[in-house]
Amino acid sequence: MRGEQGLASEGAPGEKYAKIIRENRMENPLKLKRIHHVEFLVGNARQAAFFYRKGFGFSQVAYSGLETGQRKRTSYAMSQGKANFLLTTPLTPDDDAAEHIRKHGDGVKDIALEVADADQAFEEAVKRGALPAQEPHDEKDEHGAIRRAAVHTYGDTIHSLISYKGYKGPFLPGFAAAPIAADDCGILRIDHIVGNVELGKMQFWADYYTRVFGFHRYITFDDKDISTEYSALMSIVMSDDSHSVKFPINEPAAARNKSQIQEYIEAYGGPGAQHLALQCKDVLHTVGKLQRNGIDFLRVPDSYYQALPARVGPVEEPIDDLRALGILVDRDDEGYLLQIFSKPVEDRPTVFFEVIQRKGSRGFGKGNFKALFESIEMEQARRGNL
């Protein structure tokens, strides 16, 4: 089944997996270091690069295409803080990327991970049941070499596994430096990347991240936490031991009308990455800039801000400033967080972004779900998808 193609051996989650998970539990079996970059396959990478530079403040750092001897695809490497995006478009209709775009529209193909040793990581991942996407191989140019492999995850999404073998160039072998500085918006790093999977598959993919990557369950939200009159979802947040890589997995929950997750799956043509949360150090500054740049965000009703002081207690940011920008606040026993969600950044209602600032809280904004989902449902209704 397509949604389970990341695992070589399929089957329902349950005691069989629980046993494998117990037996294989290791802190960091793939020696994962960080999210290296996220690759988006897009219809027009030149325009996407302009959008992420002018809209989100990502500087262009490197380029690969016809001028660098790459005949099949053009890619732009963009970065801000420690967040790296790769924007790729096919140059011919028979390239695999063209089929990905036909099926999914613009979307995330690869959540690429840096590991200590790509051969070891690949071998270990496959031993733990991951389906291979690309065998380990060298990639090199005059700046040095990397070792690279890849495994499948949900839908048509993959995880590249990259280790450095002396590479000192601008992005990866095959890329030429092509710097175009952006007006930085204060984004520091990728906080988490959420995957949407089909009804009944959330536990399967949570187990996949435990079994293959050694991740643990960080938080679970069920439909009592996250349901409104119409739109419901369930979510499990999977995290590595250092909590530097977090991959929440959502599935639709039964509700009176269509879940926002189901809307995504239908528009995307299957499971895929739903949103990327970008962490910043001053949410008022970052979101103010993004809005002036023309990025559209979801808005919650004004009543949200009337109820806010009683719900979250004192916060350092002036409520009027939060209200003016539409920033949401949630608090737990460790502190609070400030967050906001963009509208989808392509015409299909699929991938969107979150901007998040953490002030002690390591949560995901559970207290905002109700207000937020009512806002999402208003947008779904405008699209005729509720």
Q: Minimum CB separation from Fe ion for residue 386, in Å?
A: 21
| Cα–Cα distance measured from residue 336 to residue 332, given in angstroms and rounded to the nearest whole number | 6
In angstroms, give the least distance from the CB of 191 to Fe ion: 7
Q: Measured from the CB atom, is 172 or 277 closer to Fe ion?
A: 277
Pick between residue 112 and residue 276 the one whose CB is nearest to Fe ion.
Answer: 276
* Angle of helix 369-382 versus helix 260-268 axis, rounded to 10: 50
Q: Which residues bind Fe ion (CB under 5 A)?
A: 277, 354
Nearer to Fe ion, 156 or 354 (CB): 354
Nearest-approach distance from CB 274 to Fe ion, in angstroms: 9
Least distance (Å) from Fe ion to the CB of residue 218? Answer: 12
> What is the closest distance, in whole angstroms, from the C-beta atom of residue 37 to Fe ion in the complex?
19
Which residues lie closer than 8 Å to 137 by C-beta, 6 or more apart?
A: 147, 148, 149
In angstroms, give the least distance from the CB of 379 to Fe ion: 17
Strands laid side by side in the 73-80 sheet = 132-141, 144-152, 158-165, 107-115, 32-41, 83-90, 73-80, 59-64, 176-180
On whether the CB atoms of residues 171 and 58 are closer than 8 A, the answer is no
Choice between 65 and 272, CB closer to Fe ion:
272
Helices (H), ranges, the chain: 15-24, 45-54, 96-104, 118-127, 202-213, 260-268, 283-292, 303-312, 319-325, 369-382
Beta carbon nearer to Fe ion, 276 or 308:
276
Nearer to Fe ion, 106 or 354 (CB): 354
Distance of CA 226 to the CA centre of its chain: 20
Residues in the chain: 386
Q: Do residues 89 and 4 touch, judged by C-beta distance below 8 A?
A: no
